Structure 1
Amino acid sequence: MKKTVRMIGNHFILAIVSLFIIIPVIWVFVNSIKASADILLEPLSFPREFAFHNYIRAWSEAGFGTGFINSVIVTLISVTLIVLVSAMAAYVLSRKKFRFRIAIQNTFLLGLMLPTFLAMAPLFLLMNDLHLVNTFHGLIMVYTAYSLSFTIFMLTAFFKQIPYSLEEAAIIDGCGPFTLFWKVMFPLAKPGLISAAIFNFVGIWNEYILALILINEEQFKTLPLKLANIMLVQQYHTDWGALYAGLVMSFIPVTIFYLIFQKRLIEGSTAGAVKE
């Protein structure tokens, strides 16, 4: 009886928390298909007529289309580089014993303690001297460098839980170092790699501070910068429908990405819980 009551209570709490998350999302979506006047006069009402032209106006006139494409390019390339580089580093740090291994691992951990705001001025000066301001490859390099510490720390745990017997069997079968990593260890760490990809995808897609520092030309601005720009413009030109449409466009890719790899993320969250 107590177990049933406890289970009902837990489900009730989870339902309440879910409502607090879902209701604001639904409210944003409803406002994205309302006229700007209706959003201001009747913010909690359903639309009297569907204003789907908000999305067209946001994509073309507000520049969300350019920001969306820029974010896709920067995010996909950055996440790919982060996962590949971090996987190689995490594999070596977790499976090999060599001099200064602990020192190198602790150096990466120190990167987690570096506040972004502390590096803003020197980062801009460095990137400006390298002529990497207002460039995609400059922003991608910064995103990759900033994300390596967390991703290496995360993937190290996944590589450690892979049984050593599989590695030894592959070596006996004649696998060299590169073949061993790419053909054996890399596929076995897939749950961890997908988990790392999801976390980095969400973080980079929504990142604002570093993009604000390094990008000031309209043609290179990512979606968060475009959203911030239209919010500033609202002071002079009230186009709330386009703003809400842009917000919907900003969280749809993240939602789709998560739904596609949701099962792998759950597998990855428990992969390190079992030892050989």
Structure 2
Amino acid sequence: MSTTASHASGAPVAPHRTRPTAGDRAVNVVAHTVLGIWTLLVLLPLLWMIYTSFKSSQEILTSPFGLPETMRWDNYTRAWQEARIGDYLLNTVIVVGSALVLVMVLGAMCSYVLARFEFRGSRAIYYMLIAGLTFPIFLAVIPLFFVLKGMGLIGHGPLGLVGVILSYVAFALPFTVFFLYSFFRSLPEEISEAAAIDGAGDFRTFFQVMLPMAWPGIVSVAIFNFLGLWNQYLLPLVLNTDRGNYVLAQGLVNLQAQQGYRTDWGGMFASVVITVIPVLAVYVIFQRQLQAGVSPSTDK
């Protein structure tokens, strides 16, 4: 009677919830256990690296897992000045920032055209770009070196960084197009038609209408590209031959090689922390946008 009365009165009825079975509880326990172990495997080395960066070299060698007796902030000073981590960080920001802007602009425009316009050869262009994802990077570095050298983009000065930037863009573009293609493909056709009726051209429709609607995908692929480019080592190792243009990956390897002749492990760990901080900051700031971009939308 009460259920019938509530239906008749139009009052909301709480959804019926089934009790979890023993199998569901077992799956939850196993899943939480695995995730807890994975969390420890990720966090414990990170925490160890951070507090080790405040220890002296003697403390690191005699008590590698112990807490620092005093906070050695001078490790960061030596890493920034003597080890030139500040210069390497600046070069990395210039290279990754420039490459990220270029690849996002070109990738968004390319994926939009391939997803929204039908023309002869569009599918072939798309599949050729996707084929770039299967091409191992180490097979291309030697031919790429001679191509860029012939263009004068390898060597001393700013042109050396230009060659690295263009290489970053070329290798990040296929993934960007592949990721954004589905976003632009899923956008309603009526939106672009309404913009055309209002007098908007193709460029205005793309930048003012379609691009904001694909913003979750733009942010997600930008974060993925940032992580991949920031941690890139093989391309700058082969193409960035000027020591003054070294990026962080090259600087850390060079600093690690010097530990055979000088024992400044505190400065070494401080340099690693400086390298990791931008990646952690980007993920913490944009984690909601990243989850929204890779999760299916539940909006009706």
- Structure 1 residue aligned with 2:138: 117
Query: How much identity, in percent, do the aligned residues show?
Result: 39
What is the match of residue 289 of structure 2?
264
Alignment map for 1:1-276 (pairs within 5 Å): 1-2=21-22, 3-134=24-155, 135-271=160-296
CA distance, structure 1, for counterparts of residue 128 and residue 299 of structure 2: 27
The 1-side partners of 2:293 and 2:39 are apart by 23
Question: Where has structure 1 moved over 6 Å in runs of 4 or more?
Answer: 273-276
> RMSD value over aligned CA atoms?
1.5
Change (3 A) 1:187 1:203: same
User: Normalized against structure 1, the TM-score is what?
Assistant: 0.96
Structure 2: distance between partners of 1:39 and 1:23:
16
Paired residues in the alignment total 275
Classify 1:274/1:171 alpha carbon distance in 2 versus 1 (closer, same or farther; 3 Å): farther
- Per-residue deviation at 1:30? 1.1
Q: Cα deviations across residues 101-143 of structure 1 (Å, max 9, x unaligned)?
A: 1111111011112211111211111111111014221111110
Gaps of 5+ in 2: 1-20
Given that 1:124 and 1:214 are in contact with CA atoms closer than 8 Å, whether structure 2 keeps it comes out as: yes
Q: Deviations over 1:60-83 (max 9, x none)?
A: 101111001111111111111111
Q: Is this contact kept in 2: 1:207–1:224, CA < 8 A?
A: yes
Q: Deviation digits for residues 228-257 of structure 1, max 9, x if unmatched? A: 001111111111111111111111101111
Unaligned 5+ residue runs, structure 1?
A: none
SS of match in other structure, 1:261 = helix
Q: CA deviation at 1:26?
A: 0.4
In 1, the alpha carbon distance for the partners of 2:299 and 2:73 equals: 53
Letter in 2 for 1:114: F
The answer (yes or no) to whether the contact 1:161–1:274 under 8 Å persists in 2 is no
| Cα contact 1:75–1:205 (8 A) shared by 2 | yes
Contact 1:127-1:138 at 8 Å conserved across structures: yes
Deviates more, 1:1-10 or 1:205-214: 1-10
In terms of mean alpha carbon deviation, does 65-74 or 109-118 score higher?
109-118
Q: CA deviation at 1:275?
A: 11
Q: Secondary structure at the match of 1:231?
A: helix
Partner secondary structure for residue 175 of structure 1: coil
1:4 deviates by: 3.5
| Pairwise CA distance, 1:267 | 0.8
Q: CA–CA distance in 1 between the matches of 2:106 and 2:299?
A: 25
C-alpha distance in 2 between matches for 1:95 and 1:114: 27
Counterpart code for 1:259: V
Return the alpha-carbon distance in structure 1 between the equivalents of residues 71 and 273 of structure 2.
15
Work out the CA distance in 2 between the residues paired with 1:217 and 1:39.
33
Give the distance between the partners of 1:170 and 1:263, measured in 2 at CA. 30
